């Protein structure tokens, strides 16, 4: 739990890959409807997630994520709709905001004064192009002040697992030399990228001071997490997705 106040009106969880019903490479709590896992197992896994919050799966909202910087404000939630966004915010109660990941970082947000929740999917593309800024701006549209927002960065690919090349390094650093600090050089054409630290920097720049981070490497921990990069190394044709969730409870 990252809300040190033990707030009763909000609940959240960064789920691992454990505790579900899927099999083989999707073992076991795969919640990604975009995967090639058996749909009945994915539906059951999503029911398990919703039950954790004492709600039902029709109250679990996930997005069709595309590594964009697009954010949806949920005023009235329709469980039949599919939202093509990578961030979501709401003041609605009993709507579980869910972010699906397999190396990218899930970020959860909460403003306890205005009771506004948010969540976003932040890989390097989204973080670089503005998904964090846009999620915070959407919360501000609903009435938040940045100084009141708490947030937590969930498990994501760690520095030692995130090897990139010069083209990646140049794309991140060409317009901002300060971004060089988020890389460790391995060789003339290889670097390790610090995704979680890069995200923390983006949050700090926007005035967010209350930041927690779960420093677990999704790629390195096969027993706990799904990982896109690990699946590529293993030459697998697909991979599961973890879910990270936050909900404002109707007490």
Pairing mode of beta strands 183-187, 190-193: antiparallel
- The pLDDT tens digits for 188-245 are 999 999 999 999 999 999 999 999 999 999 999 999 999 999 999 999 999 999 999 9
Complete domains list, the chain, with CATH = 10-158+208-248 (3.60.140.10)
Residues, the chain, total? 251
d(CA 220, CA 237): 19
- Predicted model pTM: 0.96
CB atoms within 10 A of CB 191: 22
Pairing mode of beta strands 190-193, 163-164: antiparallel
**Which structure tokens are listed for 138?**
């959407």
**Which structure tokens are listed for 65?**
């994520």
d(CA 107, CA 117): 11
- The pLDDT tens digits for 130-186 are 999 999 999 999 999 999 999 999 999 999 999 999 999 999 999 999 999 999 999
d(CA 86, CA 97): 11
């Amino acid at each position: 739990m990252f809300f040190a106040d033990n707030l009763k009106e909000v609940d959240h969880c960064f789920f691992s890959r454990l505790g579900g019903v899927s099999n083989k490479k999707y073992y076991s709590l795969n919640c990604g409807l975009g995967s090639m896992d058996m749909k009945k197992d994915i539906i059951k896994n999503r029911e398990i997630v919703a039950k954790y919050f004492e709600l039902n799966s029709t109250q679990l909202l996930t997005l069709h994520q595309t590594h964009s910087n697009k954010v949806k404000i949920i005023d009235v939630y329709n469980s039949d709709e599919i939202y093509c966004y990578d961030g979501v915010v709401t003041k609605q109660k009993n709507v579980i905001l869910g972010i699906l990941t397999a190396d990218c970082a899930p970020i959860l947000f909460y403003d306890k004064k205005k009771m506004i929740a948010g969540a976003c999917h932040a890989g390097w593309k989204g973080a670089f192009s503005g998904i964090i800024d846009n999620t915070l701006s959407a919360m501000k549209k609903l009435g938040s002040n940045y100084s009141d927002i708490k947030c937590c960065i969930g498990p994501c690919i760690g520095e030692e697992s995130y090897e990139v090349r010069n083209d990646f390094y140049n794309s991140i650093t060409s317009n901002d030399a300060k971004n060089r600090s988020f890389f460790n050089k391995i060789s003339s054409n290889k670097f390790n990228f610090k995704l979680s630290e890069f995200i923390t920097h983006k949050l700090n720049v926007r005035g967010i001071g209350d930041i927690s981070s779960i420093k677990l490497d999704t790629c390195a921990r096969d027993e706990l997490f799904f990982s896109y990069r690990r699946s590529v190394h293993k030459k697998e044709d697909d991979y599961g997705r973890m879910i990270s969730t936050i909900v404002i409870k109707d007490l």
